Amino acid sequence: MKTGFYPGCSMKGSAREYSESLLAVAAALGRELPEIPDWNCCGATAAHNLNQDLSLALPARILAAAEKDGMDEVLVPCAACYSRLSVTRYELLQDEDLRQKISGLIETNYRGSAKVLNIIEWLTSIPDLETKIKAPFARRVACYYGCLLVRPAGILKFDRPEEPQSMDQLLKKIGATPLDWAFKTECCGAGFSVSRTDLVAKLSGLILDDAVARGAEAVIVACPMCHLNLDLRRPQIEKRAGKKINIPVIYITQALGLALGIAPKKLGLQRHTVAVKFSQSTEGAANVAQSSGSKTLPGEK
Amino acid sequence: MARIGVFICHCGENISATVDVQKVAAAAARIPGVAHSVDYKYMCSDPGQQMIKNAIKEKNLTGVVVAACSPRMHEPTFRRACAEAGLNPFLCEMANIREHCSWVHEKSDATTNKAIDLVRMMIEKVKKSKALLPIKVPVTKTALVLGGGIAGIQASLDIANTGHQVILVEKEPSIGGHMSQLSETFPTLDCSQCILTPRMVEVAQHPNITLYSYAELESLEGFIGNFKARIRKKARSLDEKLCTGCGLCIQKCPAKKIPSEFDANMGIRTAIYVPFPQAIPNKPVIDRGHCTYYLKGKCRLCEKICPTQAIRFDQEDEIIAVDVGAVVLATGFDIKHGDFFPEYGYGKYKDIIDGLQFERLASASGPTLGEIRRPSDGKIPETVVFVACAGSRDPAKGIEYCSKICCMYTAKHAMLYKHKVHEGKPYVFYMDIRAGGKMYEEFVRRAMEEDGVQYIRGRVSRIYERNGKLIVKGADTLLGARPMEIQADMVVLATAGVANAGAEELAQKVHISYDAYYFYSEAHPKLRPVETNTAGIFLAGACQAPKDIPESVAQASAAASKVAALFSQAELIREPLIAVVDRSAPPLYSTCVGCFLCQSSCPYQAIEKEEIRGRDGQLIKTVAKVNPGLCQGCGTCVALCRSKSIDIQGFSHEQVYSEVLALLNRRESDV
Amino acid sequence: MSEFQPKIVAFVCNWCTYAGADLTGTSRMKYSPQVSIIRFPCTGRIDFMLLLKAFANGADGIIVSGCHPNDCHYTSGNFHARRRWILFRGLLDFMGIDTRRIEFSWISAAEGAKWAQLVNTTAENIRKLGPFANYEKLRHQGVS
C-alpha cells in the first residue's frame, strides 16, 4: 500500500508548521510520505467559483499523477484541498462522460483508483498509536473540525456531520481530554479572512468564547484556514471582544508530535501568533460541566 | 379449435396516447385462433363489458383476452363479465398494456410492438387455459384484533356489535395505547383518558370480546376464513382470577425507582405495577427484569401481603391456540427516540424532551401531577421552545415523510404550557403548518392569536447549553433568514412518528407487505386503505402510516366493516388457482413417484399422502395429493417436482411455456 | 444502421415485483421497452428450464425478480427460488452462457422506482453484451 502526500499551496506557505509537524510525526512513526510528483494547486475556492471544468481538471491532474506514480491512496492534510480532491474523484466516478472530458483536458486517463484521505483518517489508520506515546498530551482540548472535513456528508461519508467524534477519539488516544462543546463545526468566517475580517472576528470569536467557557486549554484544528482565522486573526478577535484571549490553537499533528516527544521547535510551534503555553495545573475534566443540568461552568457566576 | 376474443382498451387516453391500439387489434386479428378482435375506449365500463358478453355469445368464443390495465385492477371485473355470458371465468386473461407498457414508455413503434407481444403472449396462454370451478370453504366467524390502542378498541367494539366474536390481543399490560398517555386531545382539548376509558371499559365488559393483555401473537397460519393463530400470553406472575386489583402489592413493593414506560421515562414505578390507575385489566404484572425476587431470590413481599394469595412466581407463558376468520392489525406507532439529533442534544441534556414526554408532564395523572417542570431541577420553565419537524421531512435524517400530527400537537403543547404558566414564553420553530382537519386551522390560530405562542418560521440548527440555559439557534426566514437565538429553559422536540419496534417481525409473521419505513402496506393507496394484499388481513390506525385519532377511529370502523362483510357470507369462495397432482388410468395411475419433495417444501402443509389401492385392496403406490382447502397456489412444488407430476391451475406448464414462446416469437403478421 | 435492441424477458412474482412494476406505471416513471413481464404467482413457481427456453427462443437477457427474503407472500417460495438460482448459475456457466445475461433481484410492491432502475440498467448491460447468438447452438443441441 503506497501512500502519497499532497501538501497543497498553504502547507508550503502560511501553514508551514502544519507541514513541518506532519513530516516530523511521519518520520517518528516510520512512515514515508512521498510527495506526488509535479503536483499543482488544487484550485481551492477560486477555481470552482470561476470555471467548473478548471475546478475538476486541477485536482484530476493531481490524482492522475498520483495514480501514475503507483500510489493507492493520497494523504491530503489541508481540509480545503481534501474537499476539492474528494469531490472531484466522486464527480468523475459518477459521470463517465465527464471523466472522459476531464481526462482529455489533462491529457491523461484519470481512472479514479487512488483514494483520498484526510489527516484524521490517516492518523487513525496507524496501528498501535497509543504504544508510541512518550509524553501523554494531558490537556483539556476543544476539537474544532471546521466545515470541510465532514461536509458534504453524502460525498465524503466521513464521521457524523453534525456531531463528529473522530478527532476527539484521536486526541483521547494521545492522552488528552476532548471536551464536549457546541462549536465543533460552526463557521469561522472562512474566506472572508481578508475581505471581511470583521465577520471573522465575530464568528471565530464565538468559537473561541465557547471553548474557553468550557475550560479548554487548547483548540485543536486540522485545517490551515481554521488555524489562520482562529490564530492569525487573534488581534482582531481580541479587539472586537475588548479583552485578551490566550487560548492557543494547535494543529493535530503538533499535538501528536508533542505526545511523541518531538521538540516543540521541530513542530513549528513558535510560528503561531498566539503563544503555545499551558498552565501547570492539570485539573482535568472534573471541574468542567459536561452535559445535562443547570450547573455553572468554571469561572461563571 | 380455439376461438379467442381479443379486446383492446384505450383506457381513455391512458393507453391510446402511446400505444397504437388499432394496430394492436389488427395484429391480434391475424393470429390463428383469434375469432374476434376489437378496440374500445373503456372496456371496464358497462358498454365495454357488454361488448365482451355479446361477442362471447355471438362468436361462440372459447376464451377472452382483455388488453388493458393491470390484472390486479380489473381481472375480477372481466372474469365476472365472462361468467355472466356463460364463459368460464378462468378462460379470461388480461394483458397489462397500461401499467407495464403505455404508462412507462414513450409513444413509438417499440411501444406498440411490445403491446402486441404482450397480447400475443396472453392469447397463447388462454389457448392452453382450462375451465375451472371455484372451491368453497367455511368461514370461522371470529376476528383477531392485534393491538389495543384506540384503533384496536374501536375495531373490536364494531365487530363485536355485529354479533361476532372478537379476540383482542395487546402486548402491554393494559389496553389504551398512546392515547392513554396523552393529557388533552386536539382540537377540542378533551381530556384524553376521559374519552378513552369508557371505551376501554366497554371492551372489558363486552360479551363478544375476549381480551388477552400482556400477550403477543406467536404465529399465524392458514388463510382467509381459516386462520390458526397462536397467542403467547406472557406470565404476569399473577393468578388473574384471584386478584381483586386492591393495589396493596404495589404500595408495598420495595423496588420503587424503575423508569416508567407509561410516563415515557419521566416518572418511576415499582417492579410489580399497573401502568396507570385506569388500566384495563386493572391487574398488576411483575416486571421480572427488575423484581428483587427474580434478580436475587429475595423479598416476596407482595406474595406475603396479598389478601387473596394471587401472586404466582413460577407462572410461565401460556400459548393459546385460536381459530379465526379475519385479522385486524392495529398495532400503532411510536415516536423516534435515540441519538439521531446530536446537534439538538437530544439524549444529552435532560431538559430536551420529546412530545410524548411533554404529554406526561402536562397530564394531571403524570409524574409532576400536570405541572410543567424541568426534568433536571424541577423548576418551572419560563421560556420553552417547541421544535416542529424534528426529523420528519428530512432525507438527511432518513425520514422523508411528514408525520402529520406534530403541527397540531405542538400547537396544543404550546397552548397547554401557556395555560399552566401564565407568564411563560412559548416559541415554536416550524417549517409549514399542516392543519387540514376539521377545526384544526382554527386551533392553531388560537394558539398564535389568543395564547400568544410565538411562531418562528425556520429550522433550528443547534441547541447547546451555556450558563444553565439551553441556547436554541435557528433562523427566522420570514424576516429574511435573520438568525435567531433563544435562551430556553426547556425544549420540546416533535420527533418523527415511526413504526413500532417489532413491526417488521409481525408483518413477516402474518405475511403482509410493508414499506421502507416498516409501515404496513395497504392494498391500494387510494381506494383500499384498510385492506392488505393478503386476503383476510386488514389494517387500522397508525401502523399503516402516522395519523391522528379521528382518522384511526374511522379506519378502525372501516376495517370492522370489511370483517363484517366477510363474516356475512355462509361460506367463502376460493379461487381454484391451486396445485393438482396428475391422475391417469391404470396401470400408471399417476406419474408421481411418491418422493414427497413437494410435501416438505409446501409452506401450508397442503400436500398429503394418498394410497392408491387395487380392487382387491392391495396397495399399488403412494402418491402425493393436494388439499384444495389449504393450497395457496404458490407453485413451489410444481417447479420442484422431478417428474413434473404436479401442475398448478392458472399457471400450468403448458400455459407458461406458451407464454415464453409466444412472447419471444414475433410473427411476420404482427408488424 | 439500427442500434441493437435487446429482447429481455422478466419472470416476476405477482405479489411483489409485478405490483412494484404496476406502481412504476402508476407513477408514470419511464423505462426501456426492451423488457416484457411474465407473471407468476411466486418466484418459487419459476422452473429454471423456462429460462433456458427463453434463451433458446431469442431472449438476449433475463430478469428474475420477487419478494425480498422473509417477505414472500407464500413464506418460503423465494427461498426455493434463490437456492435454485445458485445451482442454476453454475450450470449456465458450465454450459457457456454468460451469467451476466441474467439479473436476479428482489423488488417489493413499494419499490416502483427500483424496478425502473433495474430495467434500465439491465437493458443497458445487455445492449453492451450484444445479441445472444449462442441460442442457435443450444437449439441444435435439443433444448428447444
The helix (run of H) or strand (run of E) holding residue B167 is: strand B165-170
* DSSP conformation letters of A118-176: -HHHHHHTSTTGGGG-SS----EEEE--TTTTT-SHHHH--S-SSS--HHHHHHHHTT-
pLDDT tens digits, A214-253:
999 999 999 999 999 999 999 999 999 999 999 999 999 9
Q: Indicate the residue of C21, C39, C50 with minimum beta-carbon distance to B660.
A: C50
Report the C-alpha gap between A170 and A176 in whole angstroms. Answer: 9
Question: Using 50, 70 and 90 to split pLDDT, how confident is the model at B169?
Answer: very high
The alpha carbon of residue B375 is apart from the nearest alpha carbon of chain A, in Å, by 9
Residues B328 and B341 in one domain: no
- pLDDT of B667: 72
Residues B490 and B363 in one domain: yes
Residues A75 and A167 in one domain: no
**Quick check: do B and A touch, 3+ CB pairs under 8 A?**
yes
Report the C-alpha gap between B276 and B256 in whole angstroms. Answer: 15
Sign of CA dihedral C73, C74, C75, C78: negative
In degrees rounded to 5, what are phi and psi of residue B177?
A: 60, -155
CB contact under 8 A, A162 and B471: no
CB contact under 8 A, C33 and B114: yes
**What's the CATH number where B118 sits?**
3.40.50
**Chains contacting chain C through 3 or more C-beta pairs under 8 A:** B
All residues of chain A having their beta carbon less than 8 Å from the beta carbon of residue B341 are 162
Report yes or no on B662 lying in a domain. no
- pLDDT of C117: 95
Report yes or no on A250 lying in a domain. yes
Residues B186 and B213 in one domain: yes
A181 DSSP 8-state letter: -
- pLDDT of B417: 97
Report yes or no on A300 lying in a domain. no
Hey, of B353, B376, B397, B466, which one would you mutate to test binding to chain A, going by the most A CBs within 10 A of its CB? B466
Q: Would the pLDDT of B551 be above 90?
A: yes
Residues B567 and B626 in one domain: no
All residues of chain C having their beta carbon less than 8 Å from the beta carbon of residue B533 are 15, 19, 73, 109
**Is residue B294 less than 8 Å (CB to CB) from chain C?**
no
Report yes or no on A60 lying in a domain. yes
User: How far is the first Cα of chain A from the last one, in angstroms, to the nearest whole number?
Assistant: 55
Cis peptide before A59 (omega within 30 of 0): no
Q: Would the pLDDT of B521 be above 50?
A: yes
Residues B323 and B184 in one domain: yes
Sign of CA dihedral C87, C89, C90, C94: positive
Mean local confidence (pLDDT), C51-80: 90
Residues A95 and A155 in one domain: no
Residues B26 and B106 in one domain: yes
C-alpha cell at B454: 410565538
All residues of chain B having their beta carbon less than 8 Å from the beta carbon of residue A151 are none
**Is residue B634 less than 8 Å (CB to CB) from chain C?**
yes
Residues B185 and B257 in one domain: no
Domain region containing A222: 128-271
Report the C-alpha gap between B529 and B515 in whole angstroms. Answer: 14
**Quick check: do A and C touch, 3+ CB pairs under 8 A?**
no
Cis peptide before A152 (omega within 30 of 0): yes
Report yes or no on A291 lying in a domain. no
More confident site: B264 or A45? B264
- Expressed in percent and rounded to 5, the helix, strand and coil fractions of chain C are 45, 15, 40
- pLDDT of A201: 97
Percent of chain B at pLDDT exceeding 70: 100
Nearest to B374 by CA among B489, B452, B494, B467: B489
Residues B455 and B549 in one domain: no
C-alpha cell at A164: 463528529
Closest-CA residue in chain A for B473?
A182
Residues A107 and A143 in one domain: no
Looking up cell 388463510 gives: B223
Contact C112, B516 (CB under 8 A): no
- pLDDT of A289: 30
Mean pLDDT over each residue of chain B, to the nearest integer? 94
Question: Could you give the ipTM of this predicted complex?
Answer: 0.94
Measured CA angle at A183 (ends A178, A186), to 5 deg: 135
Residues A184 and A63 in one domain: no
Domain region containing B591: 579-649
Q: SS3 for B220? A: strand
Domain boundary among A95, A117, A139: A117
| CATH hierarchy code of domain C8-137 | 3.40.50
- pLDDT of A294: 35
Report yes or no on B424 lying in a domain. yes
Residues whose CB is less than 8 angstroms from the CB of residue B637 and which lie 6 or more positions away in sequence, other chains included = B579, B597, B598, B601, B602, B607, B646
pLDDT tens digits, B247-256:
999 999 999 9
| This prediction's pTM | 0.81
Residues B591 and B471 in one domain: no
Residues A133 and A230 in one domain: yes
CB contact under 8 A, B350 and A293: yes
Find how far residue B471's CA is from the centre of its chain: 41
Percent of chain C at pLDDT exceeding 70: 91
Mean local confidence (pLDDT), B205-222: 97
The alpha carbon of residue C35 is apart from the nearest alpha carbon of chain B, in Å, by 9
CB contact under 8 A, B660 and C54: yes
How far is it between the farthest Cα atoms of chain A? 65
Residues whose CB is less than 8 angstroms from the CB of residue B213 and which lie 6 or more positions away in sequence, other chains included = B148, B170, B172, B173, B174, B175, B280, B281
Looking at residue A158, its amino acid is F
* Count: domains in chain B: 5
CB contact under 8 A, C73 and B101: no
All residues of chain B having their beta carbon less than 8 Å from the beta carbon of residue C26 are 99, 103
Q: SS3 for C69? A: coil
Report yes or no on A292 lying in a domain. no
* Count: domains in chain A: 2
Residues whose CB is less than 8 angstroms from the CB of residue B347 and which lie 6 or more positions away in sequence, other chains included = B338, B339
Low-confidence ranges of chain A (pLDDT < 50): 282-301
Domain boundaries, chain C: 8-137
Report the C-alpha gap between B542 and B500 in whole angstroms. Answer: 10
CB contact under 8 A, A153 and B465: no
Exposed e or buried b per residue across C49-80, where buried means at least 16 C-beta atoms within 10 angstroms of its C-beta: ebbbbbbbbbbbbbbbbbbeeebbbbbbbbbb
All residues of chain A having their beta carbon less than 8 Å from the beta carbon of residue B351 are 292
CB contact under 8 A, A293 and B376: yes
- pLDDT of C2: 58
- pLDDT of A283: 43
Q: Indicate the residue of C38, C76, C84 with minimum beta-carbon distance to B660.
A: C38
Closest-CA residue in chain B for C77?
B636
The alpha carbon of residue A130 is apart from the nearest alpha carbon of chain B, in Å, by 28
CB contact under 8 A, A294 and B348: no
**Is residue A213 less than 8 Å (CB to CB) from chain B?**
yes
CB contact under 8 A, B638 and C45: yes
pLDDT tens digits, B465-515:
999 999 999 999 999 989 999 999 999 999 999 999 999 999 999 988 899
Dihedral of the alpha carbons of C53, C56, C57, C58, in degrees to the nearest 10:
130
Report yes or no on A293 lying in a domain. no
Residues B406 and B263 in one domain: no
E strands present in B477-557: 482-488, 490-495, 497-499, 537-539
Identify any residues that bridge with B573 across adjacent strands, giving them in sequence order: B136
CB contact under 8 A, C57 and B661: yes
Report the C-alpha gap between B157 and B151 in whole angstroms. Answer: 10
Q: Would the pLDDT of B396 be above 90?
A: no
Helices and strands counted in chain A (H then E)? 13, 7
Report the C-alpha gap between B147 and A2 in whole angstroms. Answer: 59
**What's the CATH number where A176 sits?**
3.40.50.11810
Identify any residues that bridge with B7 across adjacent strands, giving them in sequence order: B38, B66
- pLDDT of B119: 97
pLDDT tens digits, B537-550:
999 999 999 999 99
Report yes or no on A143 lying in a domain. yes
Residues A32 and A110 in one domain: yes
Report yes or no on A138 lying in a domain. yes
